[in-house]
């Protein structure tokens, strides 16, 4: 983080020059926790009630070969991408920062064994084909 020094020796001397949008974006994602989001998705998948999230995950699962490790990894990555993107505020979705963040978090979810297995389990539950 960049810091500007103020002219007064009596002040703390630090004020953030980080863009407001970047801080808003970080705050938007800090409030969302992956485990809580996955638990919510898991409940939707188990409930069987139609929802846009369930439909999107079912479409990803149906288009993927969850039996192969490559197909499962691609489906988990795509599902994570969808999950992160859906939770971003609309004004951040089309920004370069938003896209970078979506990709990084998707890779994080795909690489984390616990998150990967939870998301893969959800995909197996919603798969209709």
The full set of domain ranges for the chain reads 20-126
Q: What are phi and psi of 3, to 5 degrees?
A: -135, 135
Q: State both tokens at 105.
A: 């978090």
10-57 tens-digit pLDDT: 544 444 444 555 565 555 554 456 667 777 777 776 666 677 888 888
58-69 tens-digit pLDDT: 999 999 999 999
Q: What is the DSSP string of 70-119?
A: HHHHHHHHHHHHHHHHHHS-HHHHTSHHHHHHHHHHHHHHHH-HHHHHHH
Q: Give pLDDT, residue 16.
A: 46
Q: Give pLDDT, residue 27.
A: 56
Q: Specify the pTM.
A: 0.68
Beta 3-4 vs 15-16: how paired, if at all?
A: antiparallel
Query: Which of 43-47, 70-74, 77-81 is predicted with the least confidence, judged by mean pLDDT?
Result: 43-47
């Amino acid at each position: 983080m960049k810091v500007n020094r103020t002219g007064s020796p009596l002040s703390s001397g630090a004020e953030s020059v980080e863009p407001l949008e970047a801080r808003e974006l970080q705050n938007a994602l800090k409030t969302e926790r992956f485990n809580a989001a996955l638990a919510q998705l898991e409940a939707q998948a188990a409930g069987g009630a139609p929802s846009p999230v369930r439909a999107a995950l079912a479409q990803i699962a149906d288009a993927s070969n969850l039996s192969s490790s490559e197909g499962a990894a691609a489906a988990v990555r795509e599902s994570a991408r969808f999950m992160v993107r859906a939770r971003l505020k609309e004004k951040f979705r089309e920004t370069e920062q938003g896209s970078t963040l979506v990709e990084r978090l998707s890779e994080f979810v795909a690489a984390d064994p616990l998150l990967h297995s939870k998301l893969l389990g959800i995909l197996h539950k919603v798969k209709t084909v």
